[in-house]
A and B are shown apart, each in its own frame.
Chain A
Amino acid sequence: MALLMGAVAYDPKVVTIWAGFRSWFADQGLDFDFVLYSHYERQVEDLAAGRIDAAWNSPLAWIRTERLAAAHNWRATPLVMRDTDRDLTSVIVVRSDSPFHDVADLKGETIAVGAVDSPQATMIPVSFLRAAGLRPEVDTMIRRHDVGVGLHGDHIGGERDAARALAAGTVSAACMTDTNHLLFGREGTLSAGSTRVIARTESFDHCNLSVGASMPEDDMRRFGDLLLSMSYTDPRVRPLFDLEGLTTWLPGRTSGYAALATAVDETDFYDSAGGVTAGEEYAP
Chain B
Amino acid sequence: MSTPSAPVIDLEDLGFEQGAHLLIQRALRDLPPGDELAVTGSDPALVVHLEAWCRQFGHRVHDPGGGAEGVRARVVRGHTDLNRWSAAERAGGPGSNGVVENPAPHWGLAARGALIEQGGPELPFDLTERKLVWADIAPNLYATAVSAQWNPDEAVQWEAEVALPDEVERAVVQIMTYLVENEQAALVIPARLLSRIHPHFREVVQLLAVQAADEARHVEVFTRRALLKGGEMGTSAVSGRESLATLLTEPDFSLASFLLSVLGEGSFLNLLSFLDRYAPDPVTRQVTRLARQDEARHVAFGVGHLQYQSAVDPSLRTRLRAAVERRHDALVDTAGLNQDVFDALVTLVAGEWTPQAVKRGYAEVQRLRTEMDEGRQHRLIRLGFPPDEAADLSALHTRNFM
In the complex, what's the smallest C-beta–C-beta distance from A181 to chain B, in angstroms?
Answer: 7
10 residue pairs, one from A and one from B, having the closest CB atoms: A235-B119, A185-B17, A192-B17, A235-B118, A247-B58, A178-B52, A247-B80, A179-B52, A232-B83, A233-B83
For chain A, the bracket of interface size reads 20 to 34
State in angstroms the CA–CA spacing of A192 and B19 once bound together.
11
B45 CB-CB contact with A under 8 Å: yes
* Given A86-B55, A87-B55, A186-B17, 18 other A-B residues pairs in contact with their CB atoms under 8 A: A83-B55, A84-B55, A91-B48, A178-B48, A179-B52, A181-B45, A182-B16, A182-B49, A182-B53, A185-B16, A185-B49, A192-B17, A233-B83, A233-B87, A235-B117, A235-B120, A239-B120, A245-B56
State in angstroms the CA–CA spacing of A181 and B87 once bound together.
34
Contact of A89 among B16, B48, B80, B119 (CB under 8 A): B48
Q: How many residues of B contact A (CB 8 A)?
A: 25
B52 near A182: Cβ-Cβ < 8 Å: yes
Contact of A178 among B51, B84, B86, B120 (CB under 8 A): B51
Contact of A197 among B44, B78, B117, B119 (CB under 8 A): B44
Contact of A193 among B15, B56, B80, B120 (CB under 8 A): B15
In the complex, what's the smallest C-beta–C-beta distance from A17 to chain B, in angstroms?
Answer: 15
B57 CB-CB contact with A under 8 Å: yes
Contact of B119 among A87, A200, A238 (CB under 8 A): A238
State in angstroms the CA–CA spacing of A185 and B17 once bound together.
5
State in angstroms the CA–CA spacing of A231 and B82 once bound together.
12
A196 CB-CB contact with B under 8 Å: yes
A193 near B87: Cβ-Cβ < 8 Å: no
What number of residue pairs across chains A and B have CB atoms under 8 A from each other?
A: 74
User: Which B72-91 residues have C-beta < 8 A from chain A?
Assistant: 78, 80, 83-84, 86-87
User: Which B97-154 residues have C-beta < 8 A from chain A?
Assistant: 117-120
B56 near A84: Cβ-Cβ < 8 Å: yes
B2 CB-CB contact with A under 8 Å: no
In the complex, what's the smallest C-beta–C-beta distance from A201 to chain B, in angstroms?
Answer: 11
A221 CB-CB contact with B under 8 Å: no
User: Which A14-49 residues have C-beta < 8 A from chain B?
Assistant: none
A272 CB-CB contact with B under 8 Å: no
State in angstroms the CA–CA spacing of A231 and B86 once bound together.
12
Contact with B along A181-218 (1 / 0, CB 8 A): 11001100000110011001000000000000000000
B356 CB-CB contact with A under 8 Å: no
State in angstroms the CA–CA spacing of A89 and B87 once bound together.
34
Residue numbers in B under 8 Å from A87 (CB-CB) = 55
With A200-B48, A232-B84 already in contact, the answer to whether A83 and B58 are too (CB < 8 A) is yes
A248 CB-CB contact with B under 8 Å: yes
A182 near B83: Cβ-Cβ < 8 Å: no
A232 near B80: Cβ-Cβ < 8 Å: yes
* 9 A-B pairs whose Cβ atoms sit less than 8 Å apart in the complex: A86-B55, A88-B55, A181-B48, A182-B48, A182-B49, A185-B16, A235-B120, A247-B57, A247-B58
B18 CB-CB contact with A under 8 Å: yes
A13 CB-CB contact with B under 8 Å: no
Residue numbers in B under 8 Å from A84 (CB-CB) = 55-56
A235 near B87: Cβ-Cβ < 8 Å: yes
Contact with B along A80-104 (1 / 0, CB 8 A): 0001101111010000000000000
Contact with A along B43-65 (1 / 0, CB 8 A): 01100110111011110000000
A236 CB-CB contact with B under 8 Å: yes
Measured CB to CB, the nearest residue on chain A to B61 is A87
Residue numbers in A under 8 Å from B119 (CB-CB) = 235-236, 238-239
A179 near B45: Cβ-Cβ < 8 Å: no
In the complex, what's the smallest C-beta–C-beta distance from B205 to chain A, in angstroms?
Answer: 26
Residue numbers in B under 8 Å from A88 (CB-CB) = 55
Residue numbers in B under 8 Å from A83 (CB-CB) = 55, 58
Residue numbers in B under 8 Å from A236 (CB-CB) = 119
State in angstroms the CA–CA spacing of A67 and B58 once bound together.
32
Measured CB to CB, the nearest residue on chain B to A198 is B44
In the complex, what's the smallest C-beta–C-beta distance from B21 to chain A, in angstroms?
Answer: 9
B49 near A178: Cβ-Cβ < 8 Å: yes
Residue numbers in B under 8 Å from A196 (CB-CB) = 44-45
Measured CB to CB, the nearest residue on chain B to A245 is B56
Contact of B58 among A91, A200, A239, A248 (CB under 8 A): A248
Measured CB to CB, the nearest residue on chain A to B85 is A233
User: Which B153-206 residues have C-beta < 8 A from chain A?
Assistant: none
State in angstroms the CA–CA spacing of A236 and B48 once bound together.
33
Measured CB to CB, the nearest residue on chain B to A180 is B52
State in angstroms the CA–CA spacing of A232 and B49 once bound together.
24
B51 near A89: Cβ-Cβ < 8 Å: yes
Measured CB to CB, the nearest residue on chain B to A242 is B84
State in angstroms the CA–CA spacing of A69 and B329 once bound together.
79
In the complex, what's the smallest C-beta–C-beta distance from B64 to chain A, in angstroms?
Answer: 11
In the complex, what's the smallest C-beta–C-beta distance from B23 to chain A, in angstroms?
Answer: 15
Contact of A179 among B56, B84, B86, B118 (CB under 8 A): B56
Residue numbers in A under 8 Å from B78 (CB-CB) = 247
State in angstroms the CA–CA spacing of A200 and B52 once bound together.
13
Residue numbers in A under 8 Å from B87 (CB-CB) = 233, 235
Residue numbers in A under 8 Å from B53 (CB-CB) = 182
In the complex, what's the smallest C-beta–C-beta distance from B292 to chain A, in angstroms?
Answer: 50
Measured CB to CB, the nearest residue on chain B to A87 is B55
State in angstroms the CA–CA spacing of A253 and B265 once bound together.
73
Residue numbers in A under 8 Å from B16 (CB-CB) = 182, 185-186
A231 near B83: Cβ-Cβ < 8 Å: yes
State in angstroms the CA–CA spacing of A89 and B50 once bound together.
12
Residue numbers in A under 8 Å from B117 (CB-CB) = 235
B48 near A197: Cβ-Cβ < 8 Å: yes
Residue numbers in A under 8 Å from B49 (CB-CB) = 178, 181-182, 185
